[in-house]
Chains A and B, each alone.
Chain A
Amino acid sequence: MGEVIEVNGPIVTIRHAGIRNGEQVRIGDLGLIAEVIHLREQNALVQVYESTESLRPGEQVTGLGHPLSVELGPGLLGQIFDGVQRPLQKIMQLSGENISRGLLVDALDREKKWHFVPDENLVVGYKLSAGEILGTVQETETIEHRILTPPDCVGEIIEHAPEGDYTVEEVIARVSNDSGSVFELKMYHKWPVRTPRPYHTRSNSIVPLITGQRILDTFFPLLKGGKAAVPGPFGAGKTMVQQQIARWANADIVLYVGCGERGNEMVDILQSFPELKDPYSGRSLMERTFLVANTSNMPVVAREASINVGVTMAEYYRDQGYDVVMVADSTSRWAEALREVAGRLGQMPVEEGYPAYLASRLAAFYERAGMVSTLSDKTGSVTLIGAVSPPGGDFSEPVTSHTKEIIRTFWALSKSLADARHYPSVSWLESFTSYDDRAAAWWSENISPQWANRREQALSLLSEADELERIVNLVGPEALSSSQRWVLESSGLIKEAVLQQSALDPVDSYCSPQKQFNLLELMLRYHDAGVELINLGVPVEQLIKLPYSAQLKRLKSAVSNDDLQDLEHLADRIRKKFDEMRAEYSKEKEVIL
């Protein structure tokens, strides 16, 4: 037992004998949840995850003896948790529309029975190693939950439960270790959020994460187990990009962490995802999704925790052998929470008020991404995608610039594209990926050997067009040659017909890899044919006047992923017309010759 010494917003000074750094404490009459972050002589500084209003010096403090941990077991999917893993649905039943303080709610439902099927290995006398699979539970229709031995437990099975329905609190096995102590294993275990979960080895990922978004998959691919950042000024469509990834990514599990963002965005996901179908399993998206929400009006300190809570749960599903995508919106708010706490502790600010350890904390977070061979010898991955909200849209600010050095795929959003309602407003000039080689191998094998060439051609066409646009803005379009004008025309076509993608259009929202490639190839074939005709002497004005460009631009929402042969109807018409023109002009050429 200890007592409160001083209250300064979310930072409270306590005096408590024997308290450890990182320990969880309950503070005051309300029992506010807090974490020790600093020890100073006989006092300890704690950060409180809830508002400290009406807390007074002299109130009691109890140390709980363990660090901030999460419960890992069946029943996480489909849920929405707050920043310290309290289920918000349950909180609403307990405290109504507003979140009252000091509520202690278990993350996993203690009443619900799960049908447990023991693993074949689960026999008395079997030597159980850490992280091994004990058995399975069908968590949702699509996800089989593999019950794992806690990573810090090894020993011999001395007793186990048969197949049957159990709650997470019921013991399913007893294990005795070398020194003879007996552990009870349940269907869940706890794990401290600031300690990455162990695995066997890391492996190099070679499988791209398909998001169904053309600019992401085709132009700036991300691999499963990779790390990406989406920076952008407000209004550039960060949230839409993140939500589209959460919807359509070909992962087994999607975790969406709303960190310091709007409450309505969480509602949007909660209300729309159950209705949407997973394009891979055909089942409701909510069956593979779960959320962590610390919205901007919820206490700041829990915001810092929410990212770690999220990534620990992601690692847990990875350890079961799943590909997990965690989308964090936004890491800037997380960094600001670090800054706020640092400021209240009187730590020396370095850049824009951020503490010196900002870069190392960001790196440590993103390092938890990766494809691994798990303790149970399965392959699983955690892909991390963090939104960044740079103040004033300035990418040189500390959070963006540090993030940029850590991540491997950078999807930079542009204000000017968003202003023209070009969505997703991913800038093809500022974005980059260092996974392109490995992605190319997959695309070449599964979609087309032409993929890398076509992608390169499109990117150089876009950057050439950008140069030309600068010239046009200086001296007008008359200064350009015919073939240069055709480059401008084709880049406009690629921007509208390929890069731009409507999240709201039911057909266009998800674009299969095959359709991505076919669309891009069609546009580039059109371009190449145009170049050929111009070289034969066809005036570029005549090509621009053709009605095909508008028709090509509509293909993305007119042709669905399943009817790709329809793309060829238009291609045939264009070919016919171009053949006529070619014949006409080659004839002319012959006459002249």
Chain B
Amino acid sequence: MSDLEYRKVSSIHGALMFLKGVKDIAYGDRVVIRDRQGQKRNGQVIRSSADVVLVQVFEGTNNLDLENTWVRFLDEPFELSLSPDMLGRNFNGIGDPRDGRPPIISNVRHNVNGLPVNPVARSYPREFIQTGISTIDGLNSLVRGQKLPIFSGSGLPHNRLVAQIVRQAKLPGDVSNFVIVFAAMGVSYSDARFFEEEFESSGVLQNVVMFMNLANDPPMERLILPRTALTAAEYLAYEQDHHVLVVITDMTNYAEALREIATEKGDVPSRKGYPGYLYSDLAEIYERAGRLHDRHGSITMIPVLSMPSDDITHPIPDLTGYITEGQIVLSRELHSKSVYPPVNVPPSLSRLMKDGIGKDDTREDHARVASQLYAAYSRAMDSRNLASIIGAEELSSGDRRYLEFADRFENDFVKQGSDDDRSVIETLDLAWELLSLLPPEVLSRVSEEDLQKYHSWDGS
């Protein structure tokens, strides 16, 4: 079957191609298409009946005609060749080299769609990763095997933040031993270049596998790219024993490609035209992060997505937030106050933090301090609102203290340099320095022992 080439295209629209009179083709089969000039394209069967086959073409169907298009069914699902030689290389969405070097040849080939992980085989992620960034380490700790997305907006410095995390991430007191899988979908050339230079200058390039689809590359390839990249990540983590950090940017471009193909297929749209299966589709990607029993490696995932018009209730961030284990939300307001990283603390969250911190991992007061900072900052926002109504002079001394706390929190705790690599202990000490601006009687989230040990209230 795989040697046969069919010239039976009956209609073409968008990225879809119908073939008539082709018998018994497997659903999900990989397809190679040859156009009139002999150029190859890749596709996949997305519907198969006794006589009609529907193929989705990753490179798009521009310039294809009905007469001179030859289609070959490879009789195999989409697979990726895997080898440790992938490190330091750059591929496109379907795993072909982009760097002009030869393709990966290997006996190890895995289906890019993978199979669902049995929840029983998972081991609960609980090893604290120190990123050196106070808002993450102190308030929304990342652990090995977690999926923690960054919710950003256009023009916000998410790339700089991701680069800093990649550079600084390590277990406390350890050296960085992460291998990085970098998956870029629909990013601009300059963003791609930024990351390449970043990896080069920090000397990690030999530990990075890149999968790239730039803004001017075919959008349909974005549907397969994260799956290809995660197949590589799973290989490196579970077969080569690496701790892998997967950066995926930008998930919004992925979801838009999915909407495009769904519309062409005539799927029933749900919110904002996205198909009803967007949730399960995103989950197939995000759920590939994690740890397994009996495997040394792990997959920690940091997807980046830009919230269309900064709207966190838009289906892409919304559904992502339901699947991932928390989110780091960036704020335009802080960015315009030149606070870097502009992490919007209240809506940010790490669901796995509780098990990665505390006496044996970071420090015994960590959970309570984080909760107290949240509570105090939230209270301080009320004081700020009040100040904007009645003026700061009219505020009570208690409210004025909170105002000062909020300013110091944003300028000293949230704000830090791109090269500022704070240890988690430094972060916690800094937190107590800020909490010492407030009297002990309002700090009800910390314990009496914490107050005696760390709080220095001068009574003023």
Contact = CB atoms under 8 A, between A and B. Distances in A.
B386 interface: yes
**Interface-centre pick from B283, B284, B325 (highest chain A CB count, 10 A):** B283
B120 interface: yes
A92 B367 contact: no
Interface stretch (B80-88, B90-98, B160-168, B267-275): B267-275
Contacts of A476: 386, 389-390, 394
Interface residues of B, number: 84
Contacts of A80: 119-120
B154 interface: no
Contacts of B115: 51, 98-101
A7 B445 CA distance: 56
Nearest to B280: A300
A473 B389 contact: yes
A5 B47 CA distance: 11
B48 A7 contact: yes
Interface in A274-297: 293, 295-297
Interface in A364-400: 389, 391-394
A147 interface: no
A554 interface: yes
Contacts of A235: 321, 326-327, 347, 349, 351
Interface string A558-580: 00000000000000000000000
Contacts of A101: 115
B141 to A, nearest CB: 14
Nearest to B371: A421
A512 to B, nearest CB: 22
Contacts of A297: 116-117, 280, 283-284, 287-288
A164 interface: no
Contacts of B66: none
A314 to B, nearest CB: 20
Interface stretch (A55-63, A66-74, A174-182, A585-593): A55-63
A570 B315 CA distance: 50
Contact of A54 (B27, B120, B394): B27
Contacts of B390: 475-476, 478
A533 interface: no
A389 B271 CA distance: 14
Contacts of A353: 268-270, 276
Nearest to A392: B313
A360 to B, nearest CB: 19
A342 B267 CA distance: 11
B27 A263 contact: no
A227 to B, nearest CB: 23
A92 B27 contact: no
Contacts of B394: 476, 478
B131 to A, nearest CB: 20
Interface string A406-420: 000000000100111
B189 interface: no
B337 to A, nearest CB: 20
A8 interface: yes
Given A56-B26, A295-B119, A263 B287 contact: yes
A97 B121 contact: yes
B454 interface: no
Given A262-B325, A476-B390, A98 B268 contact: no
Given A88-B120, A98-B114, A235-B326, A57 B386 contact: no
Contacts of B389: 473-476
A550 B375 CA distance: 14
B457 interface: no
Contacts of B113: 51, 53
B367 A504 contact: yes
Given A97-B121, A394-B313, A474-B389, A547 B271 contact: no
B347 to A, nearest CB: 6
Contacts of A9: 27, 46-47
A298 B116 contact: yes
Given A298-B116, A420-B375, A476-B389, A264 B125 contact: yes
A65 interface: no
A57 B318 contact: no
24 contacts: A7-B47, A53-B113, A54-B27, A56-B26, A58-B23, A92-B121, A97-B238, A99-B117, A258-B119, A263-B287, A266-B119, A295-B283, A336-B276, A340-B280, A343-B268, A343-B276, A419-B374, A419-B378, A420-B375, A473-B385, A475-B389, A476-B390, A547-B441, A550-B442
Given A392-B314, A421-B445, A422-B375, 15 more contacts: A6-B50, A53-B27, A53-B113, A56-B24, A95-B118, A262-B323, A296-B280, A336-B276, A352-B270, A391-B271, A394-B313, A418-B349, A419-B347, A472-B386, A478-B394
The 9 closest A-B pairs by CB, nearest first: A392-B313, A296-B283, A6-B49, A234-B321, A420-B378, A297-B287, A98-B115, A53-B28, A343-B268
Interface of B: 23-29, 46-50, 77, 111, 113-125, 238, 267-271, 275-277, 279-280, 283-284, 286-288, 290, 292, 295, 313-315, 318-319, 321-323, 325-327, 346-347, 349, 351-352, 354, 367, 370-371, 374-375, 378-379, 385-386, 389-390, 394, 396, 440-445, 447-448
